C-alpha cells in the first residue's frame, strides 16, 4: 500500500475510535441523577452557603482548608448530630461562633446527613503492612457491598 494511504487509513481508524468512545461516554447513563436532597436539606445547604462555611470547610475535598472536610461528619463515630449542633454555636479554635436556633441546627444536620449518604471522602483507605505492601480499599464500594 502507498505510504500516504496507509496514514490516511490509520487516521480514519483513530477518528472513528475517538468518535465511538465519546459517543459512549456522553450517552451512557450514570446513576448520579437519582441523588436528590430533600427540601429540608436544601434549606440546610442554604444556611451552609449563606454563612460561608465552605470558606473553611470542604465537602468531597472542595472548599477552604482551615477546618476539616465535613463530607462524612454525620456518620463518623463520636461525631454526628450532637457534635454538629454543639460546635456551630461554640467558637472552637478558629471557627467563629454562630447563633443558630434549634430549627436552623436541625436543617444543617439534615444537610450533613444527606450528603453523607452519597459517598465517602477521602474515598480510599490505604494501609501499609510491615513488608511495605500497600493495600488500598475503596470505602464507597465496600459500603455498597454490605
In the list 19, 38, 52, 140, the residue contacting ligand HEC (rule: CB under 6 A) is 52
Comparing CB distances to ligand HEC, the nearer of 37 and 95 is: 95
Is position 86 an interface residue for ligand HEC (rule: CB under 6 A)?
no
Kindly give the residue spans of alpha helices, DSSP state H, lying in the chain: 3-27, 39-50, 80-87, 102-116, 139-145
| Residue 28 grid cell | 451512557
Which of 80, 74, 71, 81 is closest to 105 using CA atoms? 81
Q: How far is the CB of 72 from ligand HEC (least distance, A)?
A: 9
Is position 91 an interface residue for ligand HEC (rule: CB under 6 A)?
no
In the list 41, 53, 59, 109, the residue contacting ligand HEC (rule: CB under 6 A) is 53
Which of 117, 136, 131, 109 is closest to 40 using CA atoms? 109
Is position 60 an interface residue for ligand HEC (rule: CB under 6 A)?
no
CA dist 123 and 125 (Å) reads 7
Is position 59 an interface residue for ligand HEC (rule: CB under 6 A)?
no
Count of residues in the chain: 146
Residues engaged in binding ligand HEC (CB under 6 A): 48, 51-53, 55-57, 66-68, 70, 73, 79, 83-84, 87-88, 92-96, 98, 108
Amino acid at each position: 500500500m502507498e505510504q500516504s494511504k496507509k496514514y490516511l487509513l490509520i487516521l480514519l481508524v483513530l477518528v472513528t475510535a475517538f468518535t465511538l468512545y465519546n459517543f459512549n461516554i456522553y450517552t451512557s447513563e450514570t446513576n448520579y441523577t437519582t441523588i436528590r436532597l430533600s427540601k429540608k436539606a436544601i434549606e440546610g445547604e442554604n444556611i451552609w452557603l449563606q454563612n460561608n462555611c465552605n470558606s473553611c470547610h470542604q465537602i468531597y475535598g472542595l472548599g477552604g482548608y482551615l477546618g476539616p472536610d465535613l463530607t462524612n461528619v454525620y456518620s463518623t463515630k463520636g461525631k454526628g448530630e450532637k457534635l454538629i449542633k454543639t460546635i456551630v454555636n461554640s467558637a472552637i479554635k478558629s471557627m467563629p461562633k454562630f447563633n443558630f436556633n434549634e430549627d436552623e441546627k436541625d436543617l444543617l444536620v439534615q444537610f450533613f446527613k444527606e450528603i453523607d449518604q452519597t459517598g465517602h471522602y477521602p474515598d480510599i483507605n490505604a494501609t501499609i503492612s510491615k513488608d511495605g505492601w500497600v493495600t488500598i480499599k475503596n470505602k464507597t464500594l465496600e459500603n455498597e457491598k454490605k
